[in-house]
Amino acid sequence: MSKKVIEVFNLTKKFGNFTAVDRISFDVKEGEIFGFLGANGAGKTTAMQMLCGISMPTAGEGTVAGYDIIKENERIKRNIGYMSQKFSLYEDLKVWENIRLFGGIYGLSDKTIAEKTNELLKQLDFEQERNTLVKYLPLGWKQKLAFSVAIFHEPRIVFLDEPTGGVDPAMRRQFWEMIYDAADRGITVFVTTHYMDEAEYCNRVSIMVDGRIDALDTPAELRRRFSADSMDEVFRQLARKAKRGDQ
């Protein structure tokens, strides 16, 4: 069995009386594509932000990339990439400027950044957009760029929060090819999604309902256990119990 890069135990986040994330425990293995599913408001984003060190857990413990999520959150940040649900690269910077900025923040040298930028733009077939302000890119391209920036510094784990939200099917396919490429290079992928066909692409998935993890296994095993034909049906069966959210 390969090494665990994420391990959490009873991780909890409360906002006042509201328990967004309720004692979740799970682990993610190195090189895995881990699907983090759940209805809107189930607590996926909050859980992910605790793992990334930008949200302080109310209770519980865990490690990411071998570092404690409570005490060593800044060290975790050296080893992860993050792509938030809302596009959050700088819209008033050009494509190459965004890449350069984040490369620089992660400590890459000017030379490395320049070389890797050329390589990346070629790979993405983005060369003609090098000097385009990011705000003028179509959404699908923005998402691809955001993902590329998130893994530009070769992190051990990349966290993707609904990376394909609002993107057309063809672009979604391309996006998942990029995810597989990253996984092949040894980057662990932690991804939330609403698309159940995408859940099938994951090695393992967890399904969150009302702040708790109700199921966690490989897609095939989950289908078997819930005697369902598809992940979509598994999800419906679980989500039906939800008391919050807007579905």
Partner 1 sequence: MKTLKFLIEKEFKQMFRNPLIPRLIVLFPTMVLLVFPWAVSFEIKNIRVDVVDHSKSVYSKRLTDKIAASQYFILHDTPPDYNAAMLNMENDETDMIVEIPASFDVDLVKRRESGVGVAVNSVNGTQGLLGSNYVMQIVNDFSSELRGELTQTLPPQTRVSFMRLKKMNIVPQYKYNPALDYKKFMIPGFMVLLLTILCGILPALNIVMEKENGTINQINVTPISKMNFILAKLIPYWAVGLVVMIISITLSFLIYGLWPGGGVVAVLISSIVFILSVSGLGIIISNYSETMQQASFLVMFFILILVLLGGMFTPVSSMPAWAQAIAAINPFNYLTTAFRMLYLNGSSLADVSGNLLALGAIAVVLNGWAVFSYKKRG
Q: What is the contact surface with partner 1 in residues (CB under 8 A)?
A: 49, 52-56, 73-75, 77-78, 80, 82, 84, 86-93, 97, 100-107, 133, 159
Q: How far apart are CB 53 and partner 1 at their closest, in Å?
A: 6
Q: Which is nearer to partner 1, 112 or 218 (CB)?
A: 112
Q: Which is nearer to partner 1, 152 or 175 (CB)?
A: 152
Contact 69, 146 (CB under 8 A): no
Q: How far apart are CB 113 and partner 1 at their closest, in Å?
A: 9
Q: How far apart are CB 110 and partner 1 at their closest, in Å?
A: 9
Q: Which residues contact 130 (CB under 8 A, 6 or more apart)?
A: 94, 95, 96, 121
What's the rounded Cα separation, in Å, for the pair 173 and 176? 5
Q: How far apart are CB 26 and partner 1 at their closest, in Å?
A: 20
Q: How many CB atoms lie within 10 A of CB 72?
A: 15
Q: How far apart are CB 72 and partner 1 at their closest, in Å?
A: 11
Q: How far apart are CB 106 and partner 1 at their closest, in Å?
A: 7
What DSSP state is assigned to residue 2? Answer: P
Q: Which is nearer to partner 1, 121 or 145 (CB)?
A: 145
Contact 232, 196 (CB under 8 A): yes
What DSSP state is assigned to residue 94? Answer: B
Contact 33, 202 (CB under 8 A): yes
Sheet strands (E) in the chain = 4-15, 18-29, 33-38, 59-64, 67-68, 80-83, 157-161, 188-193, 204-209, 212-217
